[in-house]
């Protein structure tokens, strides 16, 4: 199956022509990120991100396991991304070896795991013997472009939202306290990386792009599915709120002006800041909602929980 | 053109030998058989295949040379219980092997045993199912070729696991390891003390390890010569094998009761309590404690609508193509016990599988109603048959 | 219970279904061209994939898949689409039950969600399939649509699915029971679940009616 999405010549010409005249089909400006909708599920660490028509679900799960032998002081953190035909006919069941799918999971992996967004040393319980294994399950539900950006937001929001059960260590024994019994503990998040994807279009011919002086490439942020299919180059910049670049990924495609990179980073920073604030705000609201009852309870039994 | 017009075409009825008809039109072949009152295998409608059960034959009791003292994890192939079951032409061989795992976390049940009242208070609430355990079955249906496991093997394994867990036959306590202690006496003689008697309990509790272990049982179920659905045979074989399981006794050496090891990584040191060296006794073993009243045996049934058109006896009378349609409405549904053979398996879409205890209680019950409508009468009839079958098999297992 | 059809954009039919704490999205694509090995010369082939909320699919999901297939196959008008494929993907968002022990709640959520999605997709059906979970508690009470906590403490649990034709339950499609019970329990459960399925059917009809009126 795994059908390539076909786009008619007239439609592709129309989209490209519109871009040349500074218009996008969904009426966004070139630098405009789609509005993000963050929904939390009933359980902790269950987040549904909607970015336009793109929907990504992320769920965090945790278990206690043995750490890697060569890293006895670190817990495990795994991000699993799997796509199914649910997201669109271009995805195949049980086959996540497609070029795009591998690229998506690699970028998310680099942006979140390798940038140390999660404090994995904090997951250690007994050095060399027991540690937490945190697993982020990313489910692609509906595809309308921007999977990388949406997934990264989903993973970070879910990690921030998740709380692992409290444990007590008695020498060699570990007691895992059910959530109803003891307030669960949030994960140690060191920074919040946000991916912003830029798509490049070349309004002129290839020669002009490589040798020309004009640098007239069209750069748009957060392409939708149709724009993604037509784009000639792609750049993903991952930044955090501390103005640090976590990752820059440009895998071939249209050659771009080096200075554009700086410009892109500046644009991406504004988006990063906005998105980070939105995530934190959403979590704050959700936590308040969840704490509603415990606030009533604690007034009866004013006990300090640390 | 004229030639064709003139030549007359004569239609000869094509007839096939029985076995070929069975392959090309299993449905018709089955219906013809049923209309005569018996099944393609020449069994009656409610007749089961004969079952032969042998348990314990494949169990390797460890040789008692000194080097044979190994941890079970090193010797995963050691068979603790086994069963060879033959039903019709099908062989099902079940081997139960085991391992020992350390209980990483303390469950609420453990807390009850310890006198840690403060912690007991907060972990009071506990649910039932967590007290029970299951074995991990792997079903392999041999077809004479290699390959990834099929969906049938996976679903059968999973169903066995679920049924066993929810039948409450195995408690977690039955799988708990009660290690003894190997003591070297002053005269260099070695003996192992198990916490059986009160006196021994005192000694072992002094050296009692701080950790807890459990046995984990794995069941490898191999099916040879599959001719039809295999779930009930696998279950019966597993049930019989479980009753023959002997768990090896384990002990720890007194010198190894409090070993500590240092783990060094990236220049930092951390003292780590190392695993106790848990050893298996080559001579001593205990029977696996099963909850006797939960032992149950499975049987399967199929329901099929009889096709009046296939009725040979009436065929001559209703040869007329324009026969009144009213007769066709009178479809009769029959129950067939112990589905077997390609024709029965492919044509019968409605099946009933019942796992019953000889005392009449059920442990697992599943109905799939894709074909013939499963009426209350059919259900009741299959229930009666399943109880009889369960008692029959139970007698056979006890005899072994 | 809450169902929302047409939740996804890129598939023919979809439904976000939640019951108590179990939440599942179903997606139906079809009829489409099958792979060569799936093709059936006279019928519609059916491919079902279930993805767990966390972790990778295991034998547990294969087992649920098998049961969903047993329920869904009879309701499809499969001879209408020879050499075609219907692809059903189910993504659990929230299991709602203790995963290694149970699968009853997920199974029923998958079946009901698939029925809504199949109707949404417009594939021809002979009837619809709806099911419910019934447990018998320790004090011999029948409880439909249990929560995880009730499941854990139950004596036996039963999954029952009926085919609904001409607006009433016609055929028992699946009954899957575990635990400790006798034949009277089975009859009581069949009776109870038929009542429940009738209610579910009413809800289903109302939902679809409203949906059609809003077009």
Q: Do the chains contact at B129 and C73, CB–CB below 8 Å?
A: no
- Candidate CATH numbers 3.30.230.70, 3.10.310.30, 3.90.226.10, 3.40.50.1700; the one for domain C2-213: 3.30.230.70
Q: What is the mean pLDDT of residues C44-71?
A: 93
Angle separating helix axes B231-243 and B376-399, nearest 10 degrees: 40
What confidence score (pLDDT) does residue B72 get? 42
Most C CBs within 10 A among B128, B129, B163, B355, hence the mutation to make, goes to B129
DSSP B105: B
Residue A174 to chain B, least CA–CA distance (Å): 5
For position B152, what pLDDT does the model report?
A: 92
Which residues sit opposite A237 in a β-bridge?
A196, A248
Instruction: Please give the residue of chain C at the shortest CA–CA distance from A87.
Output: C10
% of chain C residues with pLDDT over 70 = 100
Cα–Cα dist C118/C17, whole Å: 13
Are B280 and B351 part of one and the same domain? no
- State the average pLDDT over residues A47-69: 92
B partners (3+ CB pairs within 8 A) are A, C
B182 and B282 assigned to the same domain = yes
pLDDT score of B101: 83
Are B199 and B255 members of one domain?
A: yes
Do B281 and B182 have their domain in common? yes
Å from C55 to nearest chain A CA? 7
Residue of B nearest to A182 (CA): B122
Cβ contact (<8 Å) for B129 and C152? Answer: yes
Instruction: Report CB contact under 8 Å: B374, C172.
Output: yes
Among B123, B90, B121, residue whose Cα is nearest residue B108: B123
- The partner residue sitting opposite C182, judged by closest CB among B349, B362, B380, is B362
Query: Are B283 and B302 in the same domain?
Result: no
d(C-alpha B68, C-alpha C185), whole Å: 52
| Contact (CB<8Å) A174/B263 | no
Cβ-nearest to A175 among B105, B210, B266: B105
Q: What is the pLDDT of residue B121?
A: 38
Give pLDDT tens digits for A153-169: 999 999 999 999 988 88
Cβ-Cβ contacts under 8 Å, C103 against chain B:
162
In Å, how far are A28, B107, B218, B284 from B178, measured between CA atoms? 69, 17, 20, 13
Q: State the Cα angle at A52 between A50 and A58, rounded to 5°.
A: 20
Q: Contact B364/B166 with Cβ under 8 angstroms?
A: yes
Task: Tell whether B311 and B381 lie within a shared domain.
Answer: yes
In a domain, B15, yes or no: no
Q: Which pair of tokens denotes residue C4? A: 């929302």
Number of separate domains in chain B: 2
Same domain, yes or no: B280 and B368: no
Q: Which of B105, B122, B266 lies nearest to residue A64, judging by beta carbons?
A: B105
More confident site: B196 or C122 = C122
Residue B278 is predicted with a pLDDT of: 75
Helix axes A258-300, A147-161, angle to 10 degrees: 30
A71, A172, A174 ranked by CB distance to B210: nearest: A172
The reply to whether B342 falls in a domain is yes
Answer yes or no: is B157 within a domain.
Answer: no
H or E element in which residue C176 lies: strand C168-181
The confidence score (pLDDT) of residue B74 equals 38
* Residue A259 structure tokens: 């200075």
Q: Report pLDDT for A214.
A: 67
Residue B109 pLDDT: 44
Q: Is A71 in contact with B273 (Cβ distance < 8 A)?
A: no
Integer Cα distance of B282 and C187 in angstroms: 51
> How many whole angstroms separate alpha carbon B376 and alpha carbon C143?
22
Size of chain C in residues? 215
The C-alpha of A88 sits at a distance from chain C's nearest C-alpha, in angstroms, of 5
Comparing alpha-carbon positions, the chain B residue that sits nearest to C159 is B366
Closest partner residue to C91 (CB to CB) among A41, A46, A84 is A84
Residues composing chain A = 306
- CB–CB of A73 and B104 under 8 A? no
Q: Domain of residue B196: give its range.
A: 178-209+248-287
Mutate to test the interface with C, among A93, A141, A179 (most CBs of C within 10 A): A141
Subunit contact A172:B104, Cβ cutoff 8 A: no
Q: Where are the domains of chain C?
A: 2-213
C39 touches chain A (CB under 8 A): no
* In contact, C158 and C171? CB cutoff 8 Å: no
B311 with B350, same domain: the answer is yes
Mean pLDDT over C118-132 rounds to: 94
pLDDT, position A183: 85
Token pair for C208: 């679809």
Distance CA B378, CA C175 (A): 14
- Write the CA distances from A200 to A233, B60, B315, B326, C38, integer angstroms: 5, 69, 76, 72, 40
Same domain membership, residue B192 and residue B255: yes
Whole-angstrom distance, CA of residue B268 vs CA of residue B20: 76
Better pLDDT: B74 or A126: A126
3-state SS, residue A50: strand
Residue A213 has pLDDT above 70, yes or no: no
- B349 and B385 share one domain: yes
Let me know whether B350 and B378 are in one domain.
yes
Q: Is C23 on the interface with A (CB under 8 A)?
A: yes
Does residue C40 sit at the B interface (CB-CB below 8 Å)?
A: no
Q: Is the pLDDT of residue A33 over 90?
A: yes
Instruction: Look at A80 and C87 and tell me if their CB atoms are within 8 Å.
Output: no
Asked if residue B87 belongs to a domain, the reply is no
B127 touches chain C (CB under 8 A): yes
Residues 305-364 of B with CB under 8 A from C: 349, 360-364
Residue B361 inside a domain? The answer is yes
Contacting residues for B227 by C-beta, under 8 A, at least 6 apart? B88, B89, B90, B340, B341, B342
Q: Which residues of chain B are within 8 Å of residue A71 when distances are taken between CB atoms?
A: 265
Question: What is the predicted pLDDT for the residue at B115?
Answer: 41
- Of A162, A173, C143, C96, whose CA–CA distance to B123 is shortest? A173
The reported pTM is 0.87
Chains that touch A (3 or more CB pairs under 8 A): B, C
Distance, CA of C137 to CA of C139 (rounded, Å): 5
DSSP H helical ranges for chain B: 2-6, 18-24, 26-35, 108-113, 117-122, 151-166, 198-206, 231-243, 312-315, 326-329, 342-347, 376-399
Output the pLDDT for position A172: 66
How far does C32 lie from chain B, in Å, by closest CA? 23
Does any domain span residue B336?
yes
Q: pLDDT tens digits for chain B (400 residues)?
A: 445 556 778 888 888 888 888 888 888 888 888 888 888 888 999 999 999 998 877 776 543 334 444 444 334 447 888 999 999 999 999 999 888 887 765 544 444 444 444 443 334 344 577 788 899 999 999 988 888 889 999 999 999 999 999 999 998 888 888 877 777 777 777 777 777 766 666 666 666 666 678 889 999 999 999 998 999 999 999 999 999 888 888 887 766 655 555 555 555 555 454 556 677 777 778 888 888 888 999 999 999 998 877 776 665 554 444 544 444 456 788 999 999 988 889 899 999 999 999 888 999 999 998 888 888 899 999 999 999 999 999 998 887 6
Q: Tell whether B360 is covered by a domain.
A: yes
pLDDT at C45 over 90: yes
Q: Looking at the structure, do residues B184 and B258 belong to the same domain, yes or no?
A: yes
What ipTM does this complex have? Answer: 0.93
Number of C-alpha atoms within 13 angstroms, CB side, residue B73? 9
Interface A–B counts its CB contacts (< 8 A) at 49
Asked if C8's CB is within 8 angstroms of A55's CB, the reply is yes
Do C63 and B168 lie within an 8 Å CB cutoff? no
Find which of B136, B369, B387 to mutate to test the C interface (most C CBs within 10 Å of its CB): B369
């Amino acid at each position: 199956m795994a059908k390539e999405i076909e786009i008619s010549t007239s439609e592709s010409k129309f989209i490209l022509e519109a871009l040349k005249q500074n218009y996008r089909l969904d009426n966004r400006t070139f630098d405009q990120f789609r509005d993000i909708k963050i929904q939390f599920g009933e359980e902790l660490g269950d987040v549904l991100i909607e970015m336009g028509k793109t929907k990504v679900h992320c769920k965090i799960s945790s278990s206690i396991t043995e750490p890697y032998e060569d890293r006895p002081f670190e817990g495990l953190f795994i991000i699993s991304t799997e796509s199914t035909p649910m997201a669109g006919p271009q995805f195949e069941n049980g086959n996540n070896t497609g070029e795009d799918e591998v690229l998506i999971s690699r970028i998310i992996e680099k942006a979140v795991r390798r940038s140390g967004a999660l404090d994995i040393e904090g997951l250690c319980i007994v050095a060399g013997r027991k540690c937490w294994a945190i697993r982020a399950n990313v489910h692609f539900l509906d595809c309308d472009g921007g999977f990388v950006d949406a997934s990264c937001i989903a993973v970070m929001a879910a990690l921030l939202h998740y709380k692992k059960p409290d444990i007590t260590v008695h020498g060699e024994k570990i007691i895992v306290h059910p959530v109803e019994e003891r307030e669960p503990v949030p994960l140690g998040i060191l920074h919040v990386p946000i991916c912003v994807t830029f798509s490049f279009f070349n309004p002129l011919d290839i020669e002009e792009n490589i040798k020309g002086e004009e640098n007239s490439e069209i750069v748009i942020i957060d392409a939708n599915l149709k724009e993604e299919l037509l784009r000639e180059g792609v750049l993903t910049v991952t930044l955090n709120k501390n103005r640090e670049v976590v990752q820059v990924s440009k895998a071939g495609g249209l050659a771009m002006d080096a200075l554009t990179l700086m410009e892109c980073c500046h644009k991406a920073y504004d988006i990063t800041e906005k998105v980070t604030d939105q995530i934190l705000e959403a979590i704050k609201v959700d936590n308040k909602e969840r704490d509603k009852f415990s606030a009533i309870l604690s007034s009866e039994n004013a006990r300090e929980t640390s | 053109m004229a030639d064709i017009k003139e030549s007359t075409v004569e239609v000869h009825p094509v007839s096939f030998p029985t076995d070929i008809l069975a392959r090309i039109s299993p449905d018709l072949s089955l219906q013809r058989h049923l209309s005569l009152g018996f099944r393609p295998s020449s069994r009656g409608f409610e007749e089961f295949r004969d079952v032969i059960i042998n348990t314990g034959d494949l169990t390797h009791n460890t040789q008692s040379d000194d080097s044979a003292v190994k941890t079970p994890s090193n010797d995963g192939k050691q068979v603790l219980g086994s069963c060879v079951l033959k039903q019709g032409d099908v062989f099902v061989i079940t081997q139960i092997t085991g391992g020992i795992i350390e209980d990483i976390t303390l469950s609420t049940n453990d807390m009850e045993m310890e006198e840690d009242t403060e912690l007991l208070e907060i972990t009071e609430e506990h649910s039932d199912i967590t007290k029970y355990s299951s074995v991990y079955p792997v079903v392999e249906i041999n077809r004479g070729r290699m390959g990834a496991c099929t969906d049938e093997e996976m679903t059968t394994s999973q169903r066995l696991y679920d049924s066993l867990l929810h039948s409450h036959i195995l408690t977690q306590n039955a799988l708990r390891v009660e290690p003894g202690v190997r003591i070297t006496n002053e005269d260099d003689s070695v003996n192992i003390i198990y916490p059986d008697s009160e006196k021994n309990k005192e000694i072992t509790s002094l050296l009692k390890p701080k950790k807890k272990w459990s046995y984990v049982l794995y069941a490898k179920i191999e099916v040879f010569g599959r001719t039809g659905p295999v779930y009930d045979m696998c279950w019966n074989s597993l049930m019989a094998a479980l009753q023959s399981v002997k768990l090896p006794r384990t002990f720890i050496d007194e010198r190894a009761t409090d070993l500590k090891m240092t783990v060094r990584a990236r220049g930092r040191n951390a003292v780590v309590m190392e695993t106790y060296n848990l050893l298996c006794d080559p001579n001593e073993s205990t029977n696996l404690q099963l909850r006797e009243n939960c032992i149950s045996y499975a049987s399967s049934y199929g329901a099929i609508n009889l096709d009046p058109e296939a009725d040979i006896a009436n065929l001559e009378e209703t040869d007329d193509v324009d026969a009144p349609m009213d007769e066709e409405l009178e479809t009769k549904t029959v129950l067939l016990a112990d589905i077997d053979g390609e024709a029965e398996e492919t044509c019968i879409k409605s099946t009933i599988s019942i796992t019953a205890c000889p005392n009449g209680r059920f442990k697992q019950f599943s109905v799939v109603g894709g074909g013939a409508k499963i009426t209350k009468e059919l259900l009741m009839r299959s229930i009666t048959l399943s109880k009889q079958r369960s008692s029959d098999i139970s007698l056979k297992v006890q005899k072994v | 219970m809450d169902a929302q059809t047409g939740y996804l954009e890129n598939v023919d039919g979809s439904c976000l279904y939640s019951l108590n704490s179990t939440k599942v999205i179903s997606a139906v694509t079809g009829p489409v061209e099958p792979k060569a090995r799936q093709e059936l010369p006279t019928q519609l082939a059916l491919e079902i994939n279930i993805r767990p909320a966390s972790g990778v699919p295991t034998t547990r999901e294969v087992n649920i898949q098998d049961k969903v297939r047993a329920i869904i196959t009879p309701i499809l008008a499969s001879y209408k689409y020879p050499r075609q494929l219907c692809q059903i993907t189910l993504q659990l968002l929230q299991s709602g039950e203790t995963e290694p022990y149970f699968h009853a709640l997920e199974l029923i959520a998958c079946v009901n969600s698939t029925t809504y999605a199949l109707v949404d997709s417009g594939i021809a059906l002979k009837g619809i399939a709806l099911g419910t979970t019934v447990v018998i508690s320790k004090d011999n009470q029948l409880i439909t649509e249990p929560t995880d906590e009730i499941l854990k403490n139950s004596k036996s649990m039963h999954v029952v699915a009926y085919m609904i034709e001409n607006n009433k339950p016609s055929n028992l499609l699946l009954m899957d029971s575990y635990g400790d019970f006798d034949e009277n329990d089975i009859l009581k459960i069949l009776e109870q679940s038929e009542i429940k399925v009738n209610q579910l059917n009413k809800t289903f009809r109302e939902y679809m009616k409203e949906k059609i009126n809003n077009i």
